Amino acid sequence: MRVFQPTRKALFALFVYIIIPSYAILLTMFNYPDLSKSRFIEIMKWIILIGVVLIIISQVQVRYERGSIKRYLLNVAYVVASLLWLLALFGGKPYIQQYWGEYEFRIVVWKILLIAVAVAALNVLYFTLEYAVYRSTDAAGEEA
């Protein structure tokens, strides 16, 4: 008897939100020892923490039928957690700043964050419409 069987969405979240970014951060840390390791460790801590939350949400949401309020709220929570994960990946600021010896690198990423927020808003709109459509078809099915 299997107590826990991961869904495809949870496995996808594991790879996309934890394994691949952690590997990339570790590669960067060890290939460029002059860069600040504490900053990368802090970023990795938040990526793993929020990634675990995303995996749990994606595992739990498939238990509920489309049109249920629980699935809708879990989908919205997934979108919000994804935005927080992206912000954590950028170090919690609208720019990435790093020192390498006597050089300072600063990359402004607020436009990328703005695009991500717009896509997230469209995603929440999609989940809201999905909830409304499945809710109305359930109500029509009960009347018949």
* pLDDT greater than 70 at residue 101: yes
What angle (nearest 5°) sits at the alpha carbon of residue 72, between those of residues 20 and 69? 145
Report pTM. Answer: 0.84
- What is the distance between the alpha carbons of residues 42 and 48, in angstroms, rounded to a whole number? 10
Which residue is it, tokens 């994960």? 85
**Per-residue pLDDT tens over the stretch 23-82:** 999 999 999 888 888 889 999 999 999 999 999 999 999 889 888 999 999 999 999 999
Q: Among residues 123, 126, 63, which one has the least CA distance to residue 134?
A: 126
55, 18 contact by CB (below 8 A): yes
